[in-house]
Amino acid sequence: MNRDGKIVAAICAAPSVLGKCGILEGKKATCYPGFEDKLIGAEVVSEPVVADGNVITSRGLGTSMEFGFELIKKLVSEEKVQEIREQIVFMYNLLK
């Protein structure tokens, strides 16, 4: 999938598997705290969600909504993300 440019996504400790497979080589990535050394070849960042090319990584359960939104953005559109954000009870709506 990665070789074909398809989206590859992993959350929590799962990005460490992408590191072992060489998928993170030269890409920015994030993961559950304490697994950073397993992101072989990646530029590790502490963002909740990181999209670099076709690879999307996220830190864990607390970042799963933003992770999902990033997947929707890549698979559908930013407009669809905004539509969904407006329709659900999510902190994003409460801050408006």
Question: How far is it, in rounded angstroms, from Cα 69 to Cα 90?
Answer: 12
d(CA 92, CA 75): 21
CA distance 2 to 88: 32
Sheet architecture: strand order including 55-58: 8-11, 55-58, 49-52
Among candidate residues 9, 12, 18, 56, the one labeled active-site is 12
- How far apart CA 88 and CA 15 sit, in angstroms, is 28
12 is catalytic: yes
Catalytic residue annotation: 12
